[in-house]
Amino acid sequence: TALYGPDEMELYLVDFAEGFGVYATESLPHARLVIARSDRESGLGVLRSLMAELSRREALLRTTSGRGRGLAELRRSTSEVVPRVVLLVDGSQELLCLDDEVGCAAADLLEQLIRKGGSLGIHVVLSSQSLEGLTALRHMILACLPVRVVLFAHRGDARRTRTVVTDVEHHLNARENGI
């Protein structure tokens, strides 16, 4: 929020936990949506809304006759203000904990937003206490996340997040460690 004004960046904050973290952001002029103690259906609604925005941006980009790609081209070729969008989902394990209709739909939408959204200015930040029991979370979602910050983790979580660091379990077994 220090680099971009409210017309340049919008924040969508969905907290499935106690909501303490998002209360401080409610007064930010960038906060387009703040939901504390969200239920799964509301979280899914936010994802659907952002997917509709992604589709709108893709359609706008098609009108540029292939002259460019991404957010910069959208801004140059249209008269619309096209802000960056940052979706922060805290407690994402609550949204993806069941392999039911809501969990599967959320996983599909997250995958599309993560895969296609970045180049069009829509970015996703997921936070979770644990990756265990996330039956709707597909490995593809983790593969699409180019940056992962992992703090203290149990052995199963450490294995699921492993990419380049081969001895990740050793690094994440102490509370003061992180990767």
Which amino acid does the sequence have at 36?
A
Q: Which two tokens stand for residue 47?
A: 């994802």
Closest CA to 5 of 26, 27, 28, 25: 28
pTM of the predicted model over 0.85: no
CB 168 within 8 A of CB 161: yes
Residues in the chain, how many? Answer: 179
Position 112 scores a pLDDT of 92
Distance, in Å, from the CA atom of 82 to the CA atom of 90, rounded to the nearest integer, reads 25
Q: Which two tokens stand for residue 102?
A: 């809501």
Task: Give per-residue pLDDT as tens, 106-136.
Answer: 989 998 999 899 889 999 988 877 666 555 5
Question: The dihedral of CA 25, 26, 32, 37: what is its sign?
Answer: positive
CB 168 within 8 A of CB 162: yes
Position 164 scores a pLDDT of 40
Query: What secondary structure does DSSP assign to 28-84, as a single string?
Result: -TTEEEEESS--HHHHHHHHHHHHHHHHHHHHHHHTTTTS--HHHHHHHH-SS---E
Mean pLDDT over all residues of the chain? 76
Identity of the highest mean pLDDT range in 42-56, 71-85, 151-165:
42-56
- Strand extents, DSSP E, 54-161: 84-90, 122-127
Within 8 A by CB and 6+ apart from 62, the residues are none
Can you say whether residue 66 is alpha, beta or left, with left for phi > 0 and alpha for psi between -120 and 50 degrees?
left
Task: Give per-residue pLDDT as tens, 61-84.
Answer: 888 765 667 888 888 877 778 899
Position 68 scores a pLDDT of 61
Cβ count within 10 A of residue 130: 12
The pLDDT of 26-34, averaged and rounded, is 80
Distance, in Å, from the CA atom of 163 to the CA atom of 117, rounded to the nearest integer, reads 22
